Amino acid sequence: MSKGTLRVLPLGGLGEIGKNMMVLEYDGSIVVVDTGLRFPTAEMLGIDLVLPDFGYLRERAQDIEAIVITHGHEDHLGALPWVLRELRREAHELPPVYGRRLTVAMARSKLDEHKLKDVELVDVAPGDEIAAGPFDLELIHMTHSIPDACAVAITCELGTVLMTGDYKFDQTPVDGEPADVQRLAELGREGLLLLCGDSTNADRPGFSPSERVVGPHLQEVFARAEGRIVVTSFASNIHRVQQVVDAAAALDRKVALVGRSMRKNVGIGRSLGLLDVPDGILIQPQEVEDWPDDRVVVISTGSQGEPLSALRRMAHNDHRQIKLHAGDTVVFSATPIPGNERAVNETVDRLFQIGCEVVTTADAPIHASGHGFQEEIKLMLNLTRPRYVMPVHGDHKRIHLHAQLAEAVGIEPEHIFRARNGLPVEIDERGARFGDAVQAGMIFVDGVDIGDPADVALRDRHALSADGIFIVVATISAHDGTTVAETEVIFRGVPFVEQAQKLKDEIRDEVDRSLARAARDGIHEVDVLQEELHADLGAFVYDRLRRRPMVLPVVVEV
């Protein structure tokens, strides 16, 4: 019998940084690798989170054999509660979720928050084999900026696909466990069908520095600081938190954890034995003011300038417990994710305005990327020697550069697939090719609900943010449509209106004229009157202000 077709479908993470999600389909069965999210950009007003469009999975919910999460970062794990909540509506039974120890603990914490307590979460050790329909799954230990990161080998009759997840080849990791290079090489010798490799740092030459070099440099920065020290980093970077705690302990400083995700992840790390925190070193955020400035280190969320993060609130003097002042040193032990540069720069500028000393990676080597540079990408390609390559986890530029690296190490150009979200690669005994594209955009989380980004609410929010809103309430006679009470005019967010009362009077006059015309024309239906008022007032306000605020006319019949 001839073998079937393996379909490798990216739903997120290609042509962008974040919301990584990959679907592998064979013989009618599906395995999903990662369910990530990304954070909204400035123009996504009021949106809390951005998820991959997983409508394709909703329609195939009964066919999903397993979900595998490579590590605990939000761009690989964060969408899991929403994905499972939607799948539950379509499937009688949710698929099991596999991952390593820390990843599973973080997933359980997220699902508990969403009251999804009946999901089967399976802690898998590297090397263990998992049967999932026609697939055999294996997790392979990798080094990254979070413990328990892994690659996933997915094997079917046609061969093995390797999803690298996020990785670097750190020879001296903080936990002493370098990537399993031997197993990667074995996959190469056995014959790897397809490599889906991380492209995040495909634009950076050489090798990435080891995480272990960060600790001594942090201690040097701490030793120079005379006042309080605030360190911001990714809350999930357990190794970085460990090095900050070690540096604080060496200089006899207390440590306060600020930010909900920071406290939660440190608690998970300690419970799993991944963090060693000396007894008595931790203090509560509200106790910071009780200690001398030179005895305190604060570890905070907010390294990406997130609007509601602890550091952002501190920078704007809006944090309930920590008030920054001149003499404080703020250490950014992270680099901005592409797209977050503006928010980070705004936070840094505000810190300087307060009088803080700010230390970034431009001033000292206080951060090491968790993603391999070009030489590590080449090393992965040479170790695994794949027949086909699909660069993933990167914008179009980085995917293009990753493809060039694959060509440089000898992969045939026609075997390298520069894909995009929704465009599958289909592999069978005859070879590999692009298949038919499916819908793969993004969906938004606004509060607790998810919805289509084309929702009119986003367009309305843009209009409101730019030009404000006018609300006009007109009261007319049900008998003849004439005005019977003074029109009420309310406006909010309309910029540069210095003569507000005069403008209101002019708008009332325009309302009276518009309603009088409608009465003469015999127009009495409220809906039609409101449309007429909207058109007349919109033109009138633009003529006066050269702006187009939202105009909401309300007509009341009495």
User: Hey, which residues does 197 pair with through a beta bridge?
Assistant: 391
Judged against a pLDDT cut of 90, whether residue 2 lies above it is answered with no
CA–CA distance, 121 with 144 (Å, rounded to integer): 22
**Average confidence (pLDDT) over 351-367:** 92
Judged against a pLDDT cut of 80, whether residue 41 lies above it is answered with no
CA–CA distance, 298 with 397 (Å, rounded to integer): 37
Confidence band for 276, pLDDT divided at 50, 70 and 90: very high
Write down the pLDDT at residue 498: 59
Write down the pLDDT at residue 266: 93
Do 66 and 199 lie in a common domain? yes
Number of independent structural domains in the chain: 3
**Who has greater pLDDT, 505 or 163?**
163
Do 286 and 393 lie in a common domain? no
Residue 86 lies in a domain: yes
The answer to whether 541 touches 470, Cβ cutoff 8 Å, is yes
The answer to whether 17 touches 447, Cβ cutoff 8 Å, is no
CA–CA distance, 417 with 451 (Å, rounded to integer): 31
Continuous segment of H or E residues that includes residue 320: none
Do 407 and 463 lie in a common domain? no
**Who has greater pLDDT, 278 or 463?**
278
Task: Return the closest-CA partner of residue 193 out of 157, 164, 159, 241.
Answer: 159
Write down the pLDDT at residue 557: 79
CA–CA distance, 167 with 145 (Å, rounded to integer): 8
Confidence band for 512, pLDDT divided at 50, 70 and 90: confident
Do 124 and 232 lie in a common domain? no
Do 417 and 391 lie in a common domain? yes
Do 215 and 188 lie in a common domain? no
Confidence band for 437, pLDDT divided at 50, 70 and 90: very high
pTM, entire model: 0.81
Q: Which of 197-206, 276-285, 313-322, 501-510 has the lowest mean pLDDT?
A: 501-510
SS3 content of the chain, % helix, strand, coil (to 5): 35, 25, 40
Do 47 and 26 lie in a common domain? yes
Continuous segment of H or E residues that includes residue 555: strand 550-557
Judged against a pLDDT cut of 80, whether residue 170 lies above it is answered with yes
Length, in residues, of the chain: 558
Write down the pLDDT at residue 486: 85
Q: Residue 130 is encoded by which pair of tokens?
A: 């998992």
Residue 379 lies in a domain: yes
Write down the pLDDT at residue 449: 59
Q: Can you state the angle between helices 396-408 and 374-384, rounded to 10 degrees? A: 50
Judged against a pLDDT cut of 90, whether residue 397 lies above it is answered with yes
Residue 298 lies in a domain: yes
Continuous segment of H or E residues that includes residue 331: strand 329-332
Do 159 and 263 lie in a common domain? no
Judged against a pLDDT cut of 70, whether residue 540 lies above it is answered with yes
CA end-to-end span of the chain: 79
**Who has greater pLDDT, 472 or 397?**
397
Last residue of a domain, one of 394, 419, 451: 451
Residue 337 lies in a domain: yes
Do 487 and 348 lie in a common domain? no
Judged against a pLDDT cut of 50, whether residue 277 lies above it is answered with yes
Task: Return the closest-CA partner of residue 390 out of 432, 439, 442, 438.
Answer: 432
Task: Return the closest-CA partner of residue 24 out of 166, 157, 154.
Answer: 154
Q: Residue 164 is encoded by which pair of tokens?
A: 């690298």
pLDDT digits (tens, 9 = 90+) for 98-140: 999 999 999 999 999 889 988 999 999 999 999 999 999 999 9
CA–CA distance, 198 with 378 (Å, rounded to integer): 11
- The CATH number of the domain where 250 resides is what? 3.40.50.10710
Confidence band for 199, pLDDT divided at 50, 70 and 90: very high
The answer to whether 438 touches 518, Cβ cutoff 8 Å, is no
Do 97 and 201 lie in a common domain? yes
- The CATH number of the domain where 69 resides is what? 3.60.15.10
**Per-residue b or e along 1-35, where b marks 16 or more CB atoms closer than 10 Å to that residue's CB:** eeebbbbbbbbbbbbbbbbbbbbbbbeebbbbbbb
Question: Could you tell me if residue 32 is left (phi over 0), alpha (psi between -120 and 50 degrees) or otherwise beta?
Answer: beta
**Average confidence (pLDDT) over 201-214:** 95
Write down the pLDDT at residue 461: 60
Write down the pLDDT at residue 256: 95
Write down the pLDDT at residue 46: 61
Judged against a pLDDT cut of 50, whether residue 456 lies above it is answered with no
Residue 233 lies in a domain: yes
CA–CA distance, 104 with 148 (Å, rounded to integer): 10
Highest mean pLDDT among 270-274, 388-392, 494-498: 388-392
**Average confidence (pLDDT) over 361-380:** 94
Strand ranges across the sheet with 357-359: 282-283, 254-258, 296-300, 229-232, 329-332, 357-359
Q: Which of 18-22, 23-27, 422-426, 529-533 has the lowest mean pLDDT?
A: 529-533
CB atoms within 10 A of CB 343: 21
The answer to whether 84 touches 116, Cβ cutoff 8 Å, is yes
pLDDT digits (tens, 9 = 90+) for 229-247: 999 998 888 999 999 999 9
Q: Which of 64-78, 83-97, 371-385, 498-512 has the lowest mean pLDDT?
A: 498-512
Q: Which residues are catalytic?
A: 198, 371
Do 514 and 401 lie in a common domain? no
The answer to whether 470 touches 537, Cβ cutoff 8 Å, is yes
CA–CA distance, 75 with 39 (Å, rounded to integer): 9
Mean pLDDT over all residues of the chain?
89
Last residue of a domain, one of 359, 378, 406: 359
**Average confidence (pLDDT) over 135-164:** 97
Residue 364 lies in a domain: no
CA–CA distance, 332 with 354 (Å, rounded to integer): 16
Write down the pLDDT at residue 300: 93
CA–CA distance, 29 with 142 (Å, rounded to integer): 27
**Who has greater pLDDT, 40 or 317?**
317
- The CATH number of the domain where 500 resides is what? 3.10.20.580
Write down the pLDDT at residue 162: 98
Do 186 and 233 lie in a common domain? no
CA–CA distance, 543 with 553 (Å, rounded to integer): 18
Give the 3-state secondary structure of 342-372.
Answer: HHHHHHHHHHHHHCCEEECCCCCCCCCCCCC
Interacting residues of 525 by C-beta distance below 8 A, sequence separation 6+:
none
Write down the pLDDT at residue 474: 85
Domain of residue 499 covers 456-557
**Average confidence (pLDDT) over 526-536:** 83
Residue 469 lies in a domain: yes
Residue 1 lies in a domain: no
Last residue of a domain, one of 336, 359, 382: 359
**Per-residue b or e along 440-475, where b marks 16 or more CB atoms closer than 10 Å to that residue's CB:** bebbbbbeeeeeeeeeeebeebeebeebbbbebbbb
Q: Residue 529 is encoded by which pair of tokens?
A: 């009157």
Q: Which of 12-26, 135-149, 494-508 has the lowest mean pLDDT?
A: 494-508
Interacting residues of 453 by C-beta distance below 8 A, sequence separation 6+:
44, 441, 442, 443, 444
